[in-house]
Amino acid sequence: MSKYISYGTIFPLRTNQKSTKYDYCDKVDPSGMLKIDQKLTKALSNLPKKLGRAARYALDNPDRIAFDSMRTVATACDVASPTMLRLARALDYENYEAFRYEFQQRFVTQGLGNRAVALRSGAGSQKEDQLPKNIAQAATQNIALTLKQMDLSAVEAFTKSVQDSERTIILGSGSMHWMAALMETTGQMAIPGLRTDHSGSATMVETIASITERDTALVLAYAPYAKETVVAAAYASDKNAKVFAITDKLSSPLVEYADHVFIAPTESPHYYPSVISTVLMIEVLLSATVAASDALDRIKQTELVRNTSGAYF
């Protein structure tokens, strides 16, 4: 099963039939940035703890790698400076400067427009009208980043997968469970076979035990990542289902198991991660699926039933 990651461009991966881990191919973006993202993501599962911590920091903070000193970066991710050099060499760079250079190239060609606004101040230290403005600013930035990183080929792949599948199962734990339920509620009228895992006493994996290569799974998770969601994604991938993920970072554990990954940033001054970009991705995927299908008759029929049954006030 071919594997892809959506981050401006898609990248086919080579499947190892004896495990649920996948290797990246050598296709790269001219800027070089996507190449380093590939290397870091591929290496994550095999790196020692401290190198893994440094790699995740690099994936999530490319601007800091590009512009801060090695010592500053090491302090930020709570490792010793030599650890950053070890990470560079683990990825086959001669030295840290060669590693850093690939990050710098991204900002030479693209500028700093893709860096999220840092909104960290608490409500107690702000004017009464400032916190809503900061939340709105963060939400706007999250939406802009989601759109910038969105790969329309991956969206098209999702719509085709849904159309070709017997079932499309939406998986999410905790706050993402109600997000999955929202997608199910709004999408069922147009997409046959769309459902959530409806977890109760059973584990998420138990509820999708019958998933096969004829099904599609859409998995939702952001940091801190729910273990049962990651395990379910791995299980679905192992059963050769088509797996798509909506998550917040390239260092997300879902990346390893998904055919396509949609990055939806969650930055917010609120104490809980913002879900607005996740809602955006859900609406995009549902809208694209409906537009590519004959679902309009189903929607009209559902509305007719609701109206005639007195469902609306």
CATH code of 88's domain? 1.10.10.10
In a domain, 195, yes or no: yes
In a domain, 120, yes or no: no
The answer on 276 and 152 residing in a single domain is yes
Q: List the domain range (segments joined by +) for residue 278.
A: 147-308
Question: Of 21-25, 39-43, 90-94, 193-197, where does mean pLDDT reach its minimum?
Answer: 21-25
Looking at the chain, the whole-number percentage of residues with pLDDT higher than 90 is 35
> Tens digit of pLDDT for each residue in 245-295?
999 988 899 999 999 999 999 888 776 788 999 999 999 998 888 887 766
270 is a domain residue: yes
Contacts of 298 (CB under 8 A, 6+ apart): 189, 190, 192
What CATH number did the domain enclosing 182 receive?
3.40.50.10490
Instruction: Identify the pLDDT of residue 109.
Output: 53
239 and 91 housed in the same domain: no
Q: What is the pLDDT of residue 128?
A: 58
Highest mean pLDDT: which of 25-29, 238-242, 286-290, 294-298? 238-242
pTM of the predicted model as reported, rounded to 2 decimal places:
0.64
Tell whether the torsion through CA atoms of 284, 285, 286 and 292 is positive or negative: positive
Contact indicator for 197, 204 with CB cutoff of 8 Å: yes
Please indicate, yes or no, if residue 274 is contained in any of the structural domains: yes
Specify whether 96 is located in the same domain as 157.
no
How many domains are contained in the chain?
2
- pLDDT of 108: 56
CA atoms of 102 and 293, how far apart (whole Å): 42
Report residue 79's pLDDT band, with 50, 70 and 90 as the boundaries: very high
Q: Which residue has the higher pLDDT, 309 or 204?
A: 204
Yes or no: say if 248 and 266 are a contact pair by the CB < 8 Å rule: yes
